[in-house]
Each structure stands twice: as structure tokens, then as C-alpha cells.
Amino acid sequence: MVRLLLWVILIAAAVYFFKRMGKRPAPRKSSPQPESAAAPMVRCEQCGVHLPRDRALSQQQQWYCSQAHLEQGPGSRDR
């Protein structure tokens, strides 16, 4: 009876270790764009939202997130 119990424990341990070895962590996926190629961010002068510079609208070195904010001009500076 002790031998049978020993074999059951040994087989269960082997199955546990084989399953654990099969679950290797997935390799980390590298980002499609390197960090150096990330678009620079600018802040909307009206609402303060940050957005990529290539999507922002500019007027006299000031950046805006939409045409409506461009027309409204700079917002208050107490943010």
C-alpha cells in the first residue's frame, strides 16, 4: 500500500513539473515603433490636452487640439 501511494505521489509530481515546464512565459513583443521615433507631444493652449504634434493645429507657435479651440484662442493660464 505504501509503494502504491509513493508511485501515485511520484507520478503526480512528474505531471506537475512537466506541465509547469510547458508554460513558458510569452516573449515580450517589441513595440512596432522604437521610442526614438515617437511623435513629440504638444499641449493645447485652450484646454491643456496633450496630443501628438502632427495632429495639432498651430498658430504663432501655439498649439491647439481642434479648429474650435484655435478660433477661441489661448485659455486661462491658471491651470
Q: Other CB atoms closer than 10 Å to residue 65's CB: what's the count? A: 20
* Per-residue 3-state assignment (H helix, E strand, C coil) for 53-79: HHHCEEECCEEECCHHHHHHCCCCCCC
Total structural domains in the chain? Answer: 1
Q: Which domain holds residue 52?
A: 40-79
Would residue 62 count as lying in a domain?
yes
Would residue 71 count as lying in a domain?
yes
14 pLDDT higher than 90: yes
At 24-49, the pLDDT tens digits run: 666 676 655 555 678 899 999 999 99
Would residue 70 count as lying in a domain?
yes
At 48-65, the pLDDT tens digits run: 999 999 999 998 889 999
Q: Do 72 and 45 touch, CB atoms closer than 8 A?
A: no
Would residue 23 count as lying in a domain?
no
Would residue 53 count as lying in a domain?
yes
